[in-house]
Amino acid sequence: MLHNALLIGLSTLSFTSAKCFDPSPAFPVPLWEHGSKDLKPAFDRIVTKLQTLAAKEKYDTSSFSIEVTSNTDTLWTHFHTAREHNATRPGDTHVDGESVYRIASITKTFTTLGILYQHAAGNLSLDYPVSAYIADFADSDSSGRIPWKDITLRIMASQLSGIPREMGQADLINELPDPTQVGLPPVGREGLPECYEYDHHSRPCTKTELLDNLKKKAPLFAPNQRSTYSNLNFELLGLVLENVTGLDYSEYMHQSIFSPLNMTSTSLHKPSSDAHAVLPVGQFFWDVDEGIHSPTGAIYSSSSDMSKYLRYILTHYNALATGVNWMMPASWSEGMNSFYGMPWEIFRTDKILGKGNKRPVTFVTKAGGVPDYFSRITLMPEYGLGLTIFIGGANSLLNEIQEIVTVELIRAAEIIIWRDIEATYTGTYTSTNPTLNSSLTLSSSASTGLVLKTFISNATDVFTTLLAEYAGVGHNDDAPWRAQFTPTLLYKNETAQQGEIWRLLVVPERTKEDEESVWAEFCNTDVDPASYAALPINEFVFWRGEGVVEAPAWRVRMKKVADGDGRGGEGGGQEDGDDVLGVDQQPQRTLSWLKRSLQPFSPWRL
């Protein structure tokens, strides 16, 4: 029949050419309530592991500050003070949320945010070349070998410029007492810079020294060809900000970001007092003036201030400038799971949720390091969570703390979220029009998501008609599939944030053949494949306050008449979650849900 042929054609277009397993996001962004006890068991486990870690002798001289924040509130903090301090300059000997660290390359996110503000204000364009804003690069005959007219601000912020990494640091001639002992030839210092690392950090480099040095350098790659880390990108973006605003970089950061966000402990200048300074034994970098390198890594800050910053990002990241979502990948890095954003370092993994659940989780991070100071901020936008780790001391602490906190936190959050999904969404719904024989049943689990189990429309079993053809397989055929909902994070009533809009996707289940197939993971996302009378057939609207689900293309509203069976779908929500994630039982409660706010904001190895 033509009807079936059309459906099969749609199926072939959407599903035969690619399989899209485990759509993400699988739930709306949760609002973790201040003072909530739901995550406390996870935080208790984290504390126990951190105390064991910090007790190691090799960390006697290390201090750290850790905070987890939601979109609205700091949820948890943990601080550790080094057991050994400098005898003559101990600094802060009781680390807390106001203790200040050098945060190194996290500074790059502030520089990029400043660029986005100026782009939104119309004072510059992300897609104009840097030569439009730095006069020294405007004349191609005198600007050196790097093609500055082909390097846009967006490319620079995304680590895609192809320019070298450094100008005044990371030169082994400054780090090795005798380079010849490692096989390097003896060389002189003629023609080398005479500032910053080349001058024992006693004098910062100037703008003139930076630009003159860059004119001598050759590119690593052509612009936009391949990503590679470069501090020079952000030193130049800092100059762009100064040229566009007429303000010193430090003053611009204070006026546009630090002050509006009430980041009272954050500065580009060394604090006047050591009272809150974290000063590891033997450190020297606390006092170093980074000069022209400041936009790439000079900020001083506290974990309390950084939580304020992360809350701002979590609620504004997609509304900073028209057409810009600065946490989306701009290019891939090495391997399968690592990407560069603007200027984020993005990690995406399907290993964290545990056995039986391969839904990917995205971590949007930025790390930084200068001698004796190591840091990372991590945004988990699907979960509405942000993590700050500041360390004064041993570098090896950073990855160990990151692993402990993120794994425990995400696994615990998953259980809480899916218990709420089960309590809020699952069950049987029937038409509010008694003359219609229409109903549906929803179930949920962490491994399957929110799933449509049955759907009767006008006395017709949609699973055996439209959905079976749409999937290209029979409901109980050898090619298993499920009908899973994914939230759009939009509302029918955006002002009141009511009427959550979800899309129903036909999702293939992984088979043994899929695990062995090279191309099985190839996926082209398509959440709007077909409509009926100009309305999307897979749009469903949840009016949670009324217990109603609306299917616009099916011209039906259905009201919840019964909860689910308490098992949360196949395998059960609570039982499945605890078995898969391996974390303790936690008290049941209903989360509030929060869509990402789109309200604009009123005005050594970094």
The pLDDT score that the predictor gives to residue 600 is 34
The CA distance from 278 to 393, in Å, is 9
Nearest of 575, 536, 573 to residue 553 by alpha carbon: 536
The CA distance from 564 to 104, in Å, is 50
Tokens of 421: 């999904």
Give the SS3 label for residue 330: coil
- pLDDT per position as a tens digit, 279-329: 999 999 999 999 999 999 999 999 999 999 999 999 998 889 888 999 999
CA atoms within 13 A on the CB side of 332: 5
Contacts (Cβ under 8 Å, ≥6 apart) of 591: 30, 31, 32, 33, 416, 417, 420
Measuring CA to CA, how many Å separate 590 from each of 203, 353, 534?
A: 57, 21, 36
In 149-302, which residue ranges form alpha helices assigned H by DSSP? 153-157, 172-175, 207-214, 232-245, 249-253, 294-297
Peptide bond into 343 cis (omega under 30): yes
Tokens of 139: 């004349």
The CA distance from 533 to 540, in Å, is 16
**What does DSSP assign to residue 58?**
G
- pLDDT per position as a tens digit, 350-375: 999 988 899 999 999 999 999 999 99
The CA distance from 84 to 338, in Å, is 37
Nearest of 371, 387, 404, 374 to residue 53 by alpha carbon: 404
The CA distance from 506 to 500, in Å, is 20
CB 582 within 8 A of CB 411: yes
In our burial notation (b when 16+ CB lie closer than 10 A, e otherwise), range 83-111 reads eebeeeeebbeebebebbbbbbbbbbbbb
pTM for this prediction? 0.90
Which residues of the chain are modeled with pLDDT < 70?
1-18, 35, 468-478, 564-606
The full set of domain ranges for the chain reads: 2-32+422-593, 62-167+205-393
What backbone torsions phi and psi does residue 287 show, to the nearest 5 degrees? -95, 0
Nearest of 449, 457, 481 to residue 11 by alpha carbon: 481
Write out 527-564 in H/E/C secondary structure: CCCCEECCEECCEEEEEHHHCEEEEHHHCEEEEEEECC
What backbone torsions phi and psi does residue 351 show, to the nearest 5 degrees? -95, -15
Q: What CATH code is assigned to 62-167+205-393?
A: 3.40.710.10
**What does DSSP assign to residue 27?**
S
Nearest of 236, 260, 261, 281 to residue 115 by alpha carbon: 236
In our burial notation (b when 16+ CB lie closer than 10 A, e otherwise), range 275-298 reads ebbbbbbebeebebebbbbbbbbb
- pLDDT per position as a tens digit, 441-473: 999 999 999 999 999 999 999 988 877 666 544
Measuring CA to CA, how many Å separate 493 from each of 359, 528, 551?
A: 29, 21, 16
The pLDDT score that the predictor gives to residue 471 is 52
Measuring CA to CA, how many Å separate 367 from each of 237, 383, 406, 431?
A: 19, 20, 15, 52
Nearest of 568, 567, 533 to residue 553 by alpha carbon: 533
Largest CA distance in the chain: 92
> Hey, how many other C-beta atoms are within 10 angstroms of the C-beta on 9?
11
Tokens of 66: 């850790």
The pLDDT score that the predictor gives to residue 323 is 87
The CA distance from 525 to 595, in Å, is 22
Give the SS3 label for residue 192: coil
The CA distance from 92 to 162, in Å, is 41
In 215-302, which residue ranges form alpha helices assigned H by DSSP? 232-245, 249-253, 294-297
Rg (CA), the chain: 27
CA atoms within 13 A on the CB side of 572: 8
The CA distance from 236 to 213, in Å, is 13
The CA distance from 71 to 583, in Å, is 24
Side-by-side strand order, sheet with 361-370: 74-80, 63-69, 385-392, 373-380, 361-370, 345-349, 338-340, 331-332
Relative orientation angle of helices 573-581 and 396-424, to the nearest 10 degrees = 170
In 158-206, which residue ranges form alpha helices assigned H by DSSP? 172-175
Using the structure block, give the residue that is written with the tokens 């990948």: 329
Query: What is the distance, to the nearest Å, from the Cα of residue 211 to the centroid of all Cα atoms in its chain?
Result: 33
The pLDDT score that the predictor gives to residue 530 is 87
What backbone torsions phi and psi does residue 105 show, to the nearest 5 degrees? -70, -5
CA atoms within 13 A on the CB side of 351: 8
